[in-house]
Amino acid sequence: MLHHHAVSGVLKELTLSLALKCLSFDFIGSSVDESSEEFGTLQIPSSWKPVVQDPSTLQIFFDYYRIMGPPLSKEALECLVRLASVRRSLFTDDPARFQFLGHLMNGTKEIIQTGEGLADHDNYHEFCRLLGRFKVNYQLSELLSVESYGEWIHLVAEFTTKSLQSWQWASSSVYYLLGLWSRLVTSVPYLKGETPSLLDETVPKITEGFITSRFNSNQADFPDDLSEDPLDNAELLQDHLEFFPYLCRYQYETSSLCIMKIMDPILQVYTERASSPMPVDANELAVIEGQISWIVHIIAAILKVRQITSCRTESQELIDAELAARVLQLSNVTDIGVHSQRYGEISKQRLDRAILTFFQNFRKSYVGDHAMHSSKLYLRLSELLGLHDHLVLLNFIVGKIAMNLKHYPQCEDVIEHTLSLFLELASGYMTGKLLLKLDSIKFIIVNHTVTPYSYFASVFVLYFGLVQRREKKGRTQSCLLDDPGPACTTLRCRVCVVVINEILALLSCSPDNVMIGLIWNCSDAAFTFDAIAMSFYCSSLHGLRCVTTPLLKFMAEFVLNKAQRLSFDSSSPNGILLFREVSKLVVAYGSSILSRPINTDIYNNKYKGIWISLIILSRALSGNYVNFGVFELYGDRALADALDVSLKMILSIPLADIFAYRKLTKAYFAFMEVLFSNHISFILNLDTNTFLNIIGSLEAGLKGLDTGISSQCASAVDNLATFYFNHVTIGEVSASPASMNFTRHIAECPNLFTEILRTLFEIVLFEDCGNQWSLSRPMLSLILINEQMFANLRIQMLASQPMDQQQRLSLCFEKLMADVTRSLDSKNRDKFTQNLTIFRREFRV
């Protein structure tokens, strides 16, 4: 008897496991992550329809959940989650789908009523996922059509409220419940009919429960690992606040009153503590700061979703003003009295980061000319705080930014968040211009030299967006206030020269950080070339002795012709002078790195500098501010030396290593595209082995998974094949040295073009390429080079296919060249691309 029960238990376990694997199978090859809330609908075969529609199928899994203990009960719920996600088209008609939905609803209702199995955390989590699927896969109108909807929605609301009260135990599970309610309330405007949704009764309780649970969470004991606190973890915070704002906006007046009712007393206490003559309990302040941080994050999240249309009513903007006024009032208090001595406390840092998040979201909704003219918010803010327009508010934000930079020099998280906010302000089209109107900004720019160096660094950040992050990778970010006006341009140039000179004077003290500063001083800047060129030219070799990589990064930013910022007069020699300095730097680095063996950390000690050098040359060669013909005409070796040393650096790296390091890969193929586009003669004049080595790397790049690199390789191959077609195949003028060398290369490797064309056809026909247009360009060029070669390749490809496919492929090939002439003009290329699209589609049917 015992043996029989044991066998039965094993059989049930295996059966349930098999069912879950069948329902988890990816039938359409979408490769989705089914652990995610966003895995969508379940695409099961149509032949399963009778089984899925049979009411006993769902009941089997509900029964399994009741009779099987953990972990098998969790697997039963997982099966139900997948069945709840079955595609709509599987059902014969709406009545069949509603019957299925009703059975799901009744099953979950019974679990909530009994609470059976929900004491197990895994069961609880999976059950929340199951509830979340109701609105992901069904419309609100469909839920209302089920007879038991009213009882079900009240039970789910009660279940959600209890979950919020047990947040620390169910924090990851509540995400799915909030997602359900968020989708329900956002569907109400589209609901037709008179059947009540009952959301007006249930949502306010959930909203209040969420706010109260977050406020009270800081009174509980935290685990030792503070990194697990959502206030310290951006991803966790996003999970907690992603859906909640939509619930608040649903009945905004009620929700806002709840927030203000909780926030006002605690804000008053915090304000009183700032000026209290009595000693203040640090633990009490830490709890208060944690509570206020949560409320500020909630307000910030509410403002973030203001961009949706239904939130732009005047009544909602007035409520936004009420909530924003409280955060702005709080911001005034955080840096005075007792609070000004707490910058080293984690709770204080969390609060200041919450305020920065509020400013970021507020800016997106209410700062800018359009926001100013359309919003009633500033009328209310003027009444409450005297902030009558967005320029005054922007000045307020800048003051907070400066305060953080001054008082948090050692707190990387706050500094990074502060600079992120300033980056958004300075890089925005409207806010960047508005910043230059602020007296505080103008004063800082003009008077920056009278401050001590420690504060000067912060001021420098404030204007130029320079940040010296102490990260492992030493990354930086930058921004620049930009105004094309002559007054601002003159001021910027004056400051730029002074700052560069001061930075160069500090090279001997802290070369790494100072050179990083020099990099980002000019990055993304519409700077005046004459103002800084000589400062850099005089210091380039000095900087090179101090640190290599930062100087290379500086030059990479310097030569980037972003938004045509490097535009010189027709009589100006600056473009040529700039490239000569580029050549000196690249040749100096290349000669140095090639002359010494690298045995350890080859990426940081060699490859990193090489890929930055390739980026420098790619940007300089494609910047359209240098007439490169001048160098050869006047016997200047700057271009030739730069190309020669770049080739030597490339050849010193095995092809496998080029593909192994992503940044190196991207820099290499970007450089190849530029070379084949603008300096193909340099490639053709190489020896045959080197030439074939480079072409082989292009063919390998075509086969790669990165469509961007594949497109760059296709462009390079197209330029190569076009050159051959124009200068060799139909060339009528006397052959140039480059074309003669090209002919010699092909003579030594006659199958070169055939293999590349074969590769391109195989990619187009047999792979899911997302860059078919790019691949079609070199294909036509290669076909027209030698049409007999194409005919032979066609025969070989037909022979490689199964017999039942050969006839269809042959017909596709016949249509491929229809109406395509022997020309490489744009119209003919477009026609071939159209034919190739049809060719691919008909073959893959």
Cβ atoms 679, 740 nearer than 8 A = no
Q: Which two tokens stand for residue 315?
A: 């009544």
Question: Which has the higher per-residue pLDDT, 88 or 735?
Answer: 88
pLDDT at 494 over 90: no
Q: Which pLDDT does position 800 carry in this prediction? A: 80
At residue 520 the predicted structure's pLDDT band, cuts being 50, 70 and 90, is very low
For residue 778, give the 3-state DSSP assignment: helix
At residue 673 the predicted structure's pLDDT band, cuts being 50, 70 and 90, is very high
Please give the angle made by the CA atoms of 253, 254 and 260, to the nearest 5 degrees.
85
Q: How far apart are the first and last CA of the chain?
A: 58
Alpha helices in 93-166 (DSSP H): 94-114, 121-137, 140-144, 149-165
Residues 803 and 333: their CA atoms lie apart, in Å, by: 81
- Residue 269's H or E segment, with its range, is helix 252-274
What letter does residue 368 receive in the DSSP assignment?
Answer: S
Averaged pLDDT, 652-672: 92
- Residue 54's H or E segment, with its range, is none
What letter does residue 307 receive in the DSSP assignment?
Answer: G
Question: Which has the higher per-residue pLDDT, 278 or 125?
Answer: 125
- Residue 387's H or E segment, with its range, is none
pLDDT at 469 over 60: no
Q: Which pLDDT does position 232 carry in this prediction? A: 83
Cβ atoms 515, 468 nearer than 8 A = no
Q: Name the amino acid, one letter, at 75.
A: E
Question: Which has the higher per-residue pLDDT, 495 or 177?
Answer: 177
Q: Which pLDDT does position 548 carry in this prediction? A: 64
Residues 743 and 739: their CA atoms lie apart, in Å, by: 6
Alpha helices in 334-411 (DSSP H): 346-366, 369-374, 377-385, 390-407
Q: Identify the bridge partners of residue 42 per DSSP, sorted by sequence position.
A: 86
Q: Which pLDDT does position 544 carry in this prediction? A: 45
For residue 823, give the 3-state DSSP assignment: coil
Alpha helices in 482-573 (DSSP H): 486-505, 511-522, 529-537, 540-546, 549-558
For residue 86, give the 3-state DSSP assignment: strand
Cβ atoms 276, 338 nearer than 8 A = yes
Q: Which pLDDT does position 512 carry in this prediction? A: 47
Residues 739 and 730: their CA atoms lie apart, in Å, by: 12
615 exposure class (CB count in 10 Å sphere: 0-12, 13-18, 19+)? buried
Q: Which pLDDT does position 105 carry in this prediction? A: 94
| Residue among 755, 699, 730, 750 nearest 824 (CA) | 730
| Residue among 78, 179, 172, 165 nearest 127 (CA) | 78
Q: Name the amino acid, one letter, at 196.
A: P
Residues 86 and 81: their CA atoms lie apart, in Å, by: 9
Residues 473 and 661: their CA atoms lie apart, in Å, by: 16
Cβ atoms 248, 308 nearer than 8 A = no
Q: Which pLDDT does position 463 carry in this prediction? A: 43
Give percent of the chain above pLDDT 90. 32
Q: Name the amino acid, one letter, at 471.
A: E
Q: Which of 296-300, 607-611, 769-773 has the lowest mean pLDDT?
A: 769-773
Rg value, the chain, Cα: 33
For residue 210, give the 3-state DSSP assignment: helix
pLDDT digits (tens, 9 = 90+) for 786-817: 888 888 888 888 888 778 778 888 888 888 88
- Choose from 12-21, 513-522, 714-723 the range with maximum mean pLDDT: 714-723
pLDDT digits (tens, 9 = 90+) for 199-257: 999 999 999 999 998 888 776 544 444 446 788 877 778 878 888 899 999 889 999 99
Q: Which residue has the tokens 């951006």?
A: 234
Cβ atoms 247, 210 nearer than 8 A = yes
Cβ atoms 341, 396 nearer than 8 A = no
Q: Which two tokens stand for residue 740?
A: 């003669």
Question: Which has the higher per-residue pLDDT, 23 or 227?
Answer: 23
Q: Which pLDDT does position 279 carry in this prediction? A: 78
Average predicted confidence (pLDDT) for the chain: 81
The full length of the chain comes to 845
pLDDT digits (tens, 9 = 90+) for 290-301: 999 999 999 999
Q: Which two tokens stand for residue 762?
A: 């195989």
439 exposure class (CB count in 10 Å sphere: 0-12, 13-18, 19+)? exposed
Question: Which has the higher per-residue pLDDT, 264 or 480?
Answer: 264
DSSP for 322-356 reads HHHHHHHHHHHHTTSGGGGG-TTSHHHHHHHHHHH
Residues 677 and 353: their CA atoms lie apart, in Å, by: 48
pLDDT at 631 over 50: yes
Q: Which pLDDT does position 422 carry in this prediction? A: 84
Q: Identify the bridge partners of residue 86 per DSSP, sorted by sequence position.
A: 42
Q: Which of 43-47, 484-488, 652-656, 775-779 has the lowest mean pLDDT?
A: 484-488
Q: Which pLDDT does position 106 carry in this prediction? A: 93
Residues 765 and 783: their CA atoms lie apart, in Å, by: 16
Q: Which pLDDT does position 352 carry in this prediction? A: 94
- CB half-sphere exposure, 563, CA atoms < 13 A: 8
Residues 172 and 398: their CA atoms lie apart, in Å, by: 36
Give percent of the chain above pLDDT 70. 81
pLDDT digits (tens, 9 = 90+) for 370-418: 565 557 888 899 899 988 888 888 889 988 988 888 888 788 889 889 8
Q: Which residue has the tokens 């059966």?
A: 15
pLDDT at 280 over 90: no
Q: Which two tokens stand for residue 327?
A: 């955060």
pLDDT digits (tens, 9 = 90+) for 818-835: 888 888 998 999 999 998
| Residue among 190, 191, 185 nearest 204 (CA) | 185
Beta-carbon count within 10 A of 447 CB: 10
Averaged pLDDT, 493-510: 51
| Residue among 543, 579, 589, 539 nearest 558 (CA) | 579
Q: Which pLDDT does position 704 carry in this prediction? A: 80
